[in-house]
Amino acid sequence: MTTTNTIPATAANPDAAAASAQFLTPVVLGLQALAVNGKQAHWNVRGANFIAIHELLDTVVTHAQDGADQAAERIVALGLPIDARVSTVAGRTPATAVPAGFTQWDALIRNVITDMDAVIADVQAAIDGLDEFDLTSQDIAIGIKESLEKDRWFLFAHLAE
């Protein structure tokens, strides 16, 4: 009979696991906030470009949720827990620029872009910080940044003249 011993990934490289959690946790929390606030914007957008913005915001929300899941699963795969409960997200992310009620499409886009820029800054900090600790976690952060920047471009294109 063969015996299999399993050890958490943190045992192999505890510094890499701790660094990944340190840099990816703000990314997870920011993306979770972006998903919630993006859905808020989706429901309350008004104006001539309603349908295009309404549908685009659903894409932003989906990408934010996917990115949060990837970053959180990386932390857990390294053997550490992640706390992304609503109360934690609310307590550890900056206040949203997205207002609570109906908002004209152009102002709402500016608000969502402001929120996205805060998350992009956290993602860039993760990319920079993970370079010396864990290239796999860094690669996840790079993919998240690519997705966020593309969605930001699509939103900003509605404002560009």
For 75-87, what is each residue's pLDDT tens digit? 999 999 999 999 9
Q: What residues does each domain of the chain span?
A: 13-156
Tokens of 130: 């993970």
What CATH number matches the domain at 13-156, 3.90.220.20, 3.90.600.10, 2.40.110.10, 1.20.1260.10? 1.20.1260.10
Low-confidence ranges of the chain (pLDDT < 50): none
Tokens of 133: 């600790």
Reported pTM: 0.91
Query: Backbone phi, then psi, for 104, in 5-degree steps?
Result: -60, 145
CA atoms within a 13 Å half-sphere pointing along the CA-CB vector of 125: 16
